[in-house]
Amino acid sequence: MTLRRASGPPNDGALSDELLADLAAFDPDQPLDGEPPFGASAALAPLGRAPLAPAGAAPDADGAALDPSESDTELPLGVEPWTGEEMPAGRASSHEWLAPDLGAPELDPAPSAPAEPPSMPAPPSFASPPDEEPLLETAADELNYRHLYETRYRALDAGVRENAARHATGSDLFALCLDPSPQVVAALLENSQFGLAHARALAQHHATDRGIEILARRAQLLRDSHVQRRLMQNMQTPDVVVERVLRLKRLLDIYRLSVDRDLPERNRVRVRARLRPYFSRAEPEDRATLVIKTEGRCLSSLAGCTFDSRMTQMLCNLSTFSTLFIQNLARFSATPPALIAKLLKSPSVQRQPQLRAMLARHPNAGSEAKRKG
């Protein structure tokens, strides 16, 4: 059936009745004259596309579907016909077809409850593995070398402790550094694991002069400043070891040891007694450095010592003199006349009459200075 178009402007009422009659008699499934039927193929017709052929059929030159067996001869060389499953129907987008099916998202059973923060990884554990047995019952006892020595080694014979000192390692080696036997000290020095840390502990805690003397025989250990310091703090350090330690130090360091309150009084007295001989044998530069750095405080411990010409020249070349430095030089009986004359000309002495009077009373002051003073 073909719809008729009115030639002129029809009446509104008549047009409506005619269209309603034609639409009532219209069959959508029946194709119109020269037009494809409604559906997917009819929708493609206005775009110039051929109707879809059934699955498994190849279209011919006119667009008609052919049997798959008849189209094998027309395929290019090396191309085989499809013999697998039927191809799926096309979609508007292949994203949903290729995306994995994760299923419907599960709803939170308690949406009002606050979300738990992400769990942080556990910090690394520094504890020993459960298979290893600790050396002692607790970690504190393991570090307490005194407790380890008292509980494990003190009751043993000297020969057994000496043999253990040759092969001990770790905490046992530190614990045996507390042994009072000189034979154990000699055995410790034969241990390949014995180092500076053990030598420092031994120098601090050993209670016999014989054992300290054995330790001081190792020159490489005695050169360590911490070993020297702890030997000087040990009440049992013999004179021969004190002499070896002072021989390695500068003159200024020897003076500092003589006034160090961390040292026992016995050791300070011994160092102070050796300060004068070391001062007399030292180089003029070292002696001048000692007097300048201490601002003359060391002169009270150097009674009987003198200044040579080189040391006097270095002191006279100073541009400024502090009040304390001038007072200590004025009290020292061996201050040379040239240095006294230099001090009298300094601006500090010119402004302070009491300093000028102290220098004028010095035995090495000139007659003119005494007359003006």
Task: State the average pLDDT over residues 300-317.
Answer: 93
Which residue do the tokens 């021989």 mark? 247
Average pLDDT, rounded, for the chain: 76
Closest CA to 339 of 286, 292, 280, 279: 292
What is the span of the domain harbouring residue 335? 285-298+307-373
**Dihedral class, residue 47 (left if φ above 0, else alpha if ψ from -120 to 50, else beta):** alpha
Question: CB of 212 within 8 A of CB of 238?
Answer: yes
Which percentage of the chain shows pLDDT scores above 70?
62
Distance (Å, whole) CA 188 – CA 168: 9
Establish if 274 belongs to a structural domain.
no
Establish if 365 belongs to a structural domain.
yes
Checking if the pLDDT of 131 tops 90, the result is: no
Confidence of residue 365 (pLDDT cuts 50, 70, 90): confident
Establish if 338 belongs to a structural domain.
yes
Residue with more model confidence, 345 or 117: 345
pLDDT tens per residue across span 228-285: 999 999 999 999 999 999 999 999 999 999 999 999 999 999 999 999 999 999 999 9
pLDDT at 82: 72
Establish if 168 belongs to a structural domain.
no
pTM: predicted TM-score of the whole model, two decimal places: 0.59
Cα angle 3-8-10, degrees, rounded to a multiple of 5 = 75
Residue with more model confidence, 17 or 337: 337
Checking if the pLDDT of 343 tops 60, the result is: yes
DSSP letters spanning 271-314? HHHHHHHHHHHS-HHHHHHHHHHTTTGGGGG-TT----HHHHHH
The one-letter amino acid code at 326 reads I
pLDDT tens per residue across span 139-180: 444 468 888 898 899 999 989 999 999 999 988 999 999 999
Question: CB of 35 within 8 A of CB of 45?
Answer: yes
Establish if 191 belongs to a structural domain.
no
pLDDT tens per residue across span 64-76: 444 544 545 566 7
Given CA atoms 324, 330, 336, 341 in this order, what sign does their dihedral have? positive
Q: If 0-12 CB within 10 Å is exposed, 13-18 middle and 19+ buried, where does residue 253 land?
A: middle
The one-letter amino acid code at 12 reads D
Distance (Å, whole) CA 345 – CA 351: 10
Residue with more model confidence, 47 or 333: 333
Confidence of residue 364 (pLDDT cuts 50, 70, 90): confident
Establish if 79 belongs to a structural domain.
no
Distance (Å, whole) CA 338 – CA 366: 10
Checking if the pLDDT of 134 tops 60, the result is: no
Confidence of residue 138 (pLDDT cuts 50, 70, 90): very low
Number of domains, the chain:
1
Task: State the average pLDDT over residues 86-107.
Answer: 51
Strands (E), the chain: 58-59, 65-66
Establish if 139 belongs to a structural domain.
no
Establish if 24 belongs to a structural domain.
no
Q: Which residues contact 193 (CB under 8 A, 6 or more apart)?
A: 168, 169, 173
